[in-house]
Chains A and B, each alone.
Chain A
Amino acid sequence: AQKVTQAQTEISVVEKEDVTLDCVYETRDTTYYLFWYKQPPSGELVFLIRRNSFDEQNEISGRYSWNFQKSTSSFNFTITASQVVDSAVYFCALRRKGGSEKLVFGKGTKLTVNP
């Protein structure tokens, strides 16, 4: 079975602080994909990143960075110099390669960035 755990339910920071959102996953598959999505108040899930299980290189995109560690089954997301517009619910998700293409989501972390 596949499972994604986001232990942080809510995080509140002040603008310009760095913040890390944790994600731990469980899967028996050797090949799989990991995702992060952002859900602003409008409700639409916005794709942020996809990582393949065989590519453990960390990735940086502007103020966003991701740390994938297969040894600890973690795929953490860091926002540097947070901004008010970063306030949203963030979801980590897992998908196996092949078969049904469904995503298994964590319960999400609500991030509030205060001015």
Chain B
Amino acid sequence: GAGVSQSPRYKVAKRGQDVALRCDPISGHVSLFWYQQALGQGPEFLTYFQNEAQLDKSGLPSDRFFAERPEGSVSTLKIQRTQQEDSAVYLCASSFSPPGGTGELFFGEGSRLTVL
């Protein structure tokens, strides 16, 4: 596709359920990021991949959060045993830029997670 694609766009989960959010970056993009955006706030960094390598996961809020990008393309963010505080929009972004580059980030429209 032409842009970063995320699915599902909306997800409602009961507290305690596991969820998986998918990101399909722009073809050929090396870098992939996940951000969490709470209502009325700016996006906050969760994790960063360079191809299939997860180089920075310092923003993941707990060990219930797990991300992978096994073939260096599609990425999945998994949240286990969801809690109400996990309710947010999860944004995926990709960039063609190699390490240390200054490439522009292209964002998807996000996956809005609501935990009841």
A91 to B37, CA, bound (A): 12
Q: A16 within 8 Å of B by Cβ? A: no
Which chain A residue lies CB-closest to B9? A43
**Interface residue range, chain B:** 20 to 34
Give the number of residue pairs across the A-B interface with Cβ within 8 Å: 65
- Judge whether A106 and B58 touch: CB under 8 Å: no
Q: B62 within 8 Å of A by Cβ? A: no
Which chain B residue lies CB-closest to A49? B104
Chain A: residues with Cβ within 8 Å of the partner, total of: 25
Q: A60 within 8 Å of B by Cβ? A: no
At the interface, is chain A mostly helix, strand, loop or mixed? loop
Interface residues of A in 1-60 (CB under 8 A from B): 4, 6, 33, 37, 42-47, 50, 52
- Judge whether B109 and A47 touch: CB under 8 Å: no
Interface, chain B (partner A; CB < 8 A) = 3, 31, 33, 35, 40-45, 48, 55-56, 58-59, 89, 91, 93, 95, 97, 99-102, 104-110, 112
Given A102-B45, A103-B43, 11 more pairs with CB closer than 8 A: A45-B91, A46-B107, A52-B102, A93-B42, A97-B100, A98-B100, A100-B48, A100-B58, A101-B95, A101-B97, A105-B42
